[in-house]
Structure 1
């Protein structure tokens, strides 16, 4: 039985990218550590354990994003109510494009994601913090 996929992931990412802010890596690196800026790592925890993360980033997996942003949700996180600029990232900027679009659609502003994702950050020599599994 063939799948009746109406839109590919690649199309969804391209659509999201056309409606959100994608920040060049050089600009993002200048914002790292600045007050009023929160980095959101949406990768799976196993990716963080294996590859590390941007120092100070908050891990918010894609599966909980909407619940953690929504202030009316029982799972809401206070850091999404700060008025900070939120910079989302994943390994290669596909998941973060979708997450940024979702956050923007929910009314979270200002939001952006990192061009090239964490892979580009590491390749450019950005600082990386080791993440240990929680016991």
Structure 2
């Protein structure tokens, strides 16, 4: 098998070296803060299976860059930034890998964002509220 120039783990490590990371207890304290926008980039099936952070905005990773870009026909108003609005955007996935890569990409685009270091995997165990899809 041909070796890659860079592994996925190396990409995540490089992304983490240049983005802001939230620890789970710190984000739990901000879950009800209207200036903190938690963005869940997991697949819809992951959200259905494991639950989700109440109030988190769901933005599938595959559409994230397009939803954030005001010049994109797919732009979502929740990502509108105003000077001095004080909003903190925090991405999360299941384990913090996809959200680290996504936060680095959005930072490259000029969108200020951080991510949840350990992802949703430790959220409930550390006392974070979880909502489940009602069937």
Tell me how far apart the structure 1 counterparts of residues 133 and 61 of structure 2 sit (CA, whole Å): 18
Alignment of 1:11-90 (within 5 A): 11-83=10-82, 84-90=87-93
CA contact (8 A) 2:91 2:103 kept: yes
Give the total of aligned pairs.
131
Tell me how far apart the structure 1 counterparts of residues 134 and 74 of structure 2 sit (CA, whole Å): 24
Q: CA RMSD in A?
A: 1.4
TM-score normalised according to structure 1 size: 0.91
Does residue 103 in structure 1 map to residue 106 in structure 2?
yes
TM-score normalised according to structure 2 size: 0.91
Tell me how far apart the structure 1 counterparts of residues 78 and 103 of structure 2 sit (CA, whole Å): 16
Question: Once superposed, which parts of structure 1, at least 4 consecutive aligned residues long, lie more than 3 Å away?
Answer: none
Structure 2: 5+ residue stretches without partners:
none
Give the superposition deviation at 1:131. 2.7
Structure 1: 5+ residue stretches without partners:
none
CA contact (8 A) 2:25 2:126 kept: no
Tell me how far apart the structure 1 counterparts of residues 55 and 106 of structure 2 sit (CA, whole Å): 20
